[in-house]
Amino acid sequence: MGPLLHVDHLSVDYEVGAGTFHALRDVSFELTPGRVVGIVGETGCGKSTLAHAIPRLLPEPPARIRSGRVVFQDTDLLAVPKWKMPMVRGTSIGMIFQEPINSLNPAFRVYDQLTEAVRIRRLREAGLAPSFQAPQPHDYSKGAQVKGSDALARTLTPAPPPRSFGRKGPDPEELRKEALEYLRLVRINDPETILGLYPHELSGGMRQRIMIAMALSEKPSLLIADEPTSALDITIQAQVLTLMKELMDEVQTSILFISHDLGVIAEMADEVGVMYAGSLVEFGPVDQVFESPGHPYTKALLHSVPNRYKDGGPLPSLPGSVPNLSRLPAGCTFAPRCALAREKCRADPGPALEPVPAAPAGSSHRSACFFASEVPTLP
Amino acid sequence: MTAPLLETRDLVKHFPLSRSVGQFLRRSSADAIHAVDGVSLEMFPAETMGLIGESGSGKTTLGWLAARLHEPTSGKILFHGKDIGEFDREELRRWRSRVQVVFQDPVGSLDPRMRVWQLVGEPIRAQEHGITKAELKDRVAQVLPMVGLPEGSLEQYPHEFSGGGRQRLSLARALSLHPELVILDEPTSALDVAVQAQILNRLVSLQKEQQFAYLLITHNVAAVRFVADRVAVMYLGKIAELGPVRGVLEHPVHPYTKALLAALPEVNVRRRRTRYRVTGEIPTLVHPPPGCRFAARCPFVVDRCRTEEPLLRTVPGDAGRLVACHRAEEIGDVSPQELIVQVGAPAPPATGG
């Protein structure tokens, strides 16, 4: 069995009036089923662009996918026609966004929003609604136009099974029961009451749990969580993270977890990718990356976490700031701020991810630095 | 011991809610949000007091009260022993130059249509009427290097700066009058770790040079550890624990402080895979529960906690520490790590002693 998700040399640009911003450059990584891959980086490094590019939620234009493939369950999602993408979303790839209040519809009760997800999954399972199938029977290359008439004539699903649901779809009573189950799954007390409430009547932690319940109720093979706890308080964040870890085993999903918080990534992820200025500079098992980083940026990032008292001297901090994504330097993007930078780094755009010399044999720990062997010598 | 710079005495701030129809008909008074409920604390010159707590704990309201941006419902604020509530207009204007605030959102607190010299010079102009433009620019140019901004940026607009740069601008504006007390309301929460480290370093070195007192309001425990001398932990409008930063963060006594520290995500990968034991959410501030406000979530709760409100008191053996907990003596030695259960590994042995 291959990887669940294989992002292969993905590059995304934003073309706006001020110029072309290279938000993602040659990002490649794999996610094996049942694992959590964390993506960490500073603001503007392309984390969220990556999260939205996988289920193709980027607005195009201004975004433009320049090159690469996103292979999900052996199908290149970038080659799937756009009108088919809603079939992928939800049941195959679920998403949890940063601000739960922005993702819940304020005009509908929790019941309506949660059962909508359950109903869609049930219809898809019963073959009454079109669903994503892998592998795709036809190769729709991105350039080829799909004729409207053609699309309508083509059967999207296997022959419909006997109509067990009748015309109206699943039984509302069953939907309600299932929605309650998912609310219990995310440890909500008194789910009956919660179902009848509107999003504004809930606290932030509660809302995020509803979002998790919604995402899980579609039983996605891949869950993309884009900063799911950044808007929450520390104690509530700890509860939600604990919950997500417990639910991983219960519903058997894989998670792509995106966060700017190194601590959260350390607790959640099995493997971590570190992003800087749109490219993945390091990727590997989380303990190896955090304990013996193979890229100077990772090391600097880990060192700037305040972990000492005032009398312990100043915090080590990175000089300079993140480069402008529309005017990237010629060589390695990190070279202007890097203590190890030499002539080679300023001229050559830097190597692709290569195995870190210090990593144990067979490890997936890779970094994009010419001088990875010298990183441990940095202060 | 030196005289305190700022002292609050039983400070209370309630935000009234509008009356419901039922309350109107029954002629009962409106409910109120008990944002700050009886806070007494002292700050000394050139000291950093960290104020930590979750959202809704009233820490920002307390900061605003100290700058007199809110009027207290009851209680007093003394600055160098003088009640700032009794200042007249002129005294208040002069006092404002000695207390300055840096707000959380560097985008919202900087007027996008003002240039750097206007923004940073605005407090100077408010204090010194009739200052000429050239003099003002001169003064601003002296302030900018203090926060690490180039002098040449006088004519720029805020949008030309990055997030860290804007926060430096806010800081420059607050420091332009060389105040005695700077109230920092979440100064780094909108910033990335690398930029946060730069700003925190700058804050500490400025304090060493210029002897500012900081009131640092944040939910970021790591920032408080690095900047503060003493720390106050707030929960639901009250101070739960107060003491020297090293003591409070290494040997927390109050159960809420322990819970807060146990909930911190840990960068050290050896300690991950954990299950967090404190459950429940922050109760509403409209009808705060009687007794201890943390009782509903506290793992050490006893019956007395639900009825009798614990007062802030010193703990035997630790003079600088104030704790509001009935069971402070019994649970003082429980470490925050014991609120975390290792998943797939036996629970760590109780350290005790």
Q: What is the pLDDT of residues A56-108, one digit of tens each?
A: 888 888 888 888 888 888 888 888 888 888 888 888 888 888 888 888 889 99
DSSP A229: T
Q: Which residue has the higher pLDDT, B63 or A43?
A: B63
Tell me if A157 is assigned to some domain.
no
* Closest residue in A to B249 (Cα–Cα): A309
Tell me if B106 is assigned to some domain.
no
Confidence of residue A37 (pLDDT cuts 50, 70, 90): very high
Q: How far is B245 from chain A (nearest CA, A)?
A: 8
Q: Which two tokens stand for residue A276?
A: 């800087």
**Cβ atoms of A362 and A336 closer than 8 Å:** no
Q: Are residues A99 and A191 in the same domain?
A: yes
Task: For B56-66, write each residue's pLDDT tens digit.
Answer: 788 888 999 99
Confidence of residue A197 (pLDDT cuts 50, 70, 90): confident
Tell me if A150 is assigned to some domain.
no
Q: How far is A156 from chain B (nearest CA, A)?
A: 42
Output the pLDDT for position A215: 87
> Hey, is the C-beta of B262 within 8 angstroms of any chain A C-beta?
yes
Task: For B221-244, write each residue's pLDDT tens digit.
Answer: 888 988 999 999 998 889 999 999
Residue range(s) defining the domain that contains residue B70? 6-98+179-342
> Hey, is the C-beta of B267 within 8 angstroms of any chain A C-beta?
yes
Alpha-carbon gap, residue A212 to A124, rounded angstroms: 20
Written in H, E and C, the secondary structure of A82-145 is HHHHHHHECCCEEEECCCHHHHCCCCCCHHHHHHHHHHHHHHHHCCCCCCCCCCCCCCCCCCCC
DSSP states along B262-320: HTS--S-GGG-SEEE---S-PPPSSSPPSS-TTTTT-TT--HHHHHSPPPPEEETTEEE
Confidence of residue A283 (pLDDT cuts 50, 70, 90): very high
ipTM confidence score: 0.75
Output the pLDDT for position A221: 84
Q: Provide the CB-side half-sphere exposure for A326 (13 A, CA).
A: 8
Residue B298's CATH number: 3.40.50.300
B-chain CB neighbours of A246 within 8 Å are 275
Candidates A188, A247, A299, A304, partner chain B, best to mutate (most B CBs within 10 A) = A304
> Hey, is the C-beta of B93 within 8 angstroms of any chain A C-beta?
no
Q: Are residues A251 and A310 in the same domain?
A: no
Number of domains in chain B: 1
pTM over 0.95: no
20-79 of B, contacting A, C-beta below 8 A? 48, 54-55
B-chain CB neighbours of A276 within 8 Å are none
Amino acid at B294: F
Share of chain A above pLDDT 70, in %: 88
Q: How far is B266 from chain A (nearest CA, A)?
A: 5
**Cβ atoms of B240 and B302 closer than 8 Å:** no
Number of domains in chain A: 2
Q: Are residues A67 and A206 in the same domain?
A: yes
Tell me if B222 is assigned to some domain.
yes
Q: How far is B74 from chain A (nearest CA, A)?
A: 29
Q: Are residues A181 and A100 in the same domain?
A: yes
Answer whether residue A146 shows pLDDT above 60: no
Tell me if A151 is assigned to some domain.
no
Interface of A with B (CB under 8 A): 42-43, 203, 205-206, 233-239, 241-242, 245-246, 260-264, 266-268, 286-287, 290-291, 300-302, 304-310, 314-318, 321
Contact A239 B279 (CB under 8 A): yes
Alpha-carbon gap, residue A343 to A350, rounded angstroms: 11
Output the pLDDT for position B275: 57
Burial class of B299 by CB neighbour count within 10 A (0 to 12, 13 to 18, 19+):
middle
Q: Give me the residues of chain B with pLDDT under 50, please.
A: 342-353
Amino acid at B308: E
Tell me if B134 is assigned to some domain.
no
Q: Are residues A302 and A258 in the same domain?
A: no
Tell me if B224 is assigned to some domain.
yes
Question: Starting at the edge strand that comes first in sequence, how are the strands of the sheet with B82-83 ordered?
Answer: B32-43, B6-16, B74-79, B82-83
A-chain CB neighbours of B162 within 8 Å are 321
B-chain CB neighbours of A260 within 8 Å are 192-193
Q: Are residues A329 and A180 in the same domain?
A: no
Residue range(s) defining the domain that contains residue A263? 5-136+168-269
Q: How far is B188 from chain A (nearest CA, A)?
A: 12
Tell me if A97 is assigned to some domain.
yes
DSSP A220: -
Residue A94's CATH number: 3.40.50.300
Output the pLDDT for position B347: 38
CA A282 to chain centre: 17
